[in-house]
Amino acid sequence: MGLPAYLTKSSSTLKPATLLRHLRFMSNVPENTVYGGPKPQNPHQRVTLTHLKQKHKKGDPITVVTAYDYPSAVHLDTAGIDVCLVGDSAAMVVHGHDTTLPISLDEMLVHCRAVARGAKRPLLVGDLPFGTYESSSNQAVNTAVRILKEGGMDAIKLEGGSASRITAAKAIVEAGIAVMGHVGLTPQAISVLGGFRPQGKNIASAVKVVETALALQEAGCFSVVLECVPAPVAAAATSALKIPTIGIGAGPFCSGQVLVYHDLLGMMQHPHHAKVTPKFCKQYAHVGDVINKALVEYKEEVANGSFPGPAHSPYKISETEINGFMSELQKLGLDKAAASTAAAAEKIKMSVSSNGPAND
């Protein structure tokens, strides 16, 4: 009997509770598992470009966080962040490189898919990594298509405002894919910028920031990131554009702000990360200190034998089963293993007696 016919018959002959149990057993997810999660997400309405346009029109700031994996995406989802950017900065923050250049498209797709599984509410934007869109418009469109189809993103972001980048942005938009632009400090261009240097600090550079942002708007971008530019320059660009600007190290006058998850949480205490953590980043927590403290405590408890104790040894075997198990071990000639089993069972019994009964 096919599933639709079965459901039709079941709905007329089974009580609701019984029907639900039947449906539950059809799931490919076990009802009871060794691990407790993940729990199904119950998100609010998904953020779309229409929502961002409405926020921009009303003057409500747009919140963006750059994240790279499932756990961080779930946190963004829970916090109600508007946009999650899966950035090529994963090359530095996650993979330990000194620049964003080494990360590949395949690596980016892994990050995109992980984030897409965790963030059900935010608009998802994936970076086009260096070397995957510069050669031609066809290459740019093909890469953007993969970011959406294979990565589960809603839109893409590309850096820079050269004529070829503008053409690429326009081609991607014409292919039906939403594009976020990126001007100011564009990390993929550090070889020509001379390093991670702020932009817009003189007249010519400031004008270029505004003109490039306007060109990206003309190409069809729905938003533009302004990175590491003086606040007055960002204010000028924001005023000149009809689309929202997202600032990162660009002052308070943009339409929204973006920070990297690890940076704003103060997660990374390693000297390498301290070297690449930007000056403009505010740390809203010092999670790295908490992580380090927890790891040290874990190491100490394993070393002194206090972990795992009874509370974290939840799986029980009855005394009858233990005796039978030891008998089988002895038949196999494993007398030492049988003795270890007996000693372990006795130790657990004494520990439970001294600490109170644990749940079976």
Catalytic one among 227, 297, 301, 319? Answer: 227
**Is residue 265 domain-shared with residue 309, that is, in the same domain?**
no
What was the pLDDT predicted at 45?
Answer: 79
Domain membership flag for residue 11:
no
**Is residue 131 domain-shared with residue 56, that is, in the same domain?**
yes
CA distances from 234 to 224, 229, 241, 243, 292 (A): 11, 6, 11, 13, 38
Domain membership flag for residue 75:
yes
Between CA 197 and CA 185 the distance in angstroms is: 7
CA distances from 196 to 88, 156, 235 (A): 15, 22, 22
**Is residue 186 domain-shared with residue 322, that is, in the same domain?**
no
**Is residue 275 domain-shared with residue 311, that is, in the same domain?**
no
Classify residue 87 by its DSSP letter: -
What was the pLDDT predicted at 193?
Answer: 55
What was the pLDDT predicted at 26?
Answer: 40
**Is residue 332 domain-shared with residue 260, that is, in the same domain?**
no
Give the residue from 289, 314, 330 where a domain finishes.
289
Specify whether 227 is catalytic: yes
Domain membership flag for residue 121:
yes
**Is residue 277 domain-shared with residue 335, that is, in the same domain?**
no
**Is residue 344 domain-shared with residue 213, that is, in the same domain?**
no
Domain membership flag for residue 263:
yes
- Give me the residues of the chain with pLDDT under 70, please: 1-44, 187-196, 269-277, 354-360
What was the pLDDT predicted at 36?
Answer: 46
**Is residue 212 domain-shared with residue 279, that is, in the same domain?**
yes
The answer to whether 358 and 314 have CB atoms below 8 angstroms apart is yes
Give the residue from 289, 323, 338 where a domain finishes.
289
Listed in order, strand segments (DSSP E) in 91-240 are 123-127, 155-157, 178-184, 223-227
CATH number of residue 130's parent domain: 3.20.20.60
pLDDT, one tens digit per residue, over 97-145 is 988 999 999 999 999 999 999 999 999 999 999 999 999 999 999 999 9
pLDDT, one tens digit per residue, over 320-336 is 999 999 999 999 999 99
**Is residue 283 domain-shared with residue 311, that is, in the same domain?**
no
The answer to whether 234 and 251 have CB atoms below 8 angstroms apart is yes
Indicate the pTM of the whole model.
0.81
The answer to whether 125 and 115 have CB atoms below 8 angstroms apart is no
Query: Tokens 């010519």 label which residue?
Result: 204
Residue whose C-alpha is closest to residue 137's, from 97, 167, 163, 174? 167
**Is residue 344 domain-shared with residue 255, that is, in the same domain?**
no
What was the pLDDT predicted at 115?
Answer: 98
What was the pLDDT predicted at 161?
Answer: 82
**Is residue 165 domain-shared with residue 239, that is, in the same domain?**
yes
pLDDT, one tens digit per residue, over 287-299 is 999 999 999 999 9
Domain count, the chain: 2
Domain membership flag for residue 267:
yes
Domain membership flag for residue 6:
no
**Is residue 213 domain-shared with residue 317, that is, in the same domain?**
no
Residues of the domain holding 334? 305-352
What was the pLDDT predicted at 350?
Answer: 83
Domain membership flag for residue 10:
no
Give the residue from 289, 314, 329 where a domain finishes.
289
What was the pLDDT predicted at 230?
Answer: 95
Domain membership flag for residue 239:
yes
Q: Which residues contact 4 (CB under 8 A, 6 or more apart)?
A: none
What was the pLDDT predicted at 127?
Answer: 97
Between CA 73 and CA 122 the distance in angstroms is: 9
Query: Tokens 């708007």 label which residue?
Result: 217
Between CA 83 and CA 224 the distance in angstroms is: 13
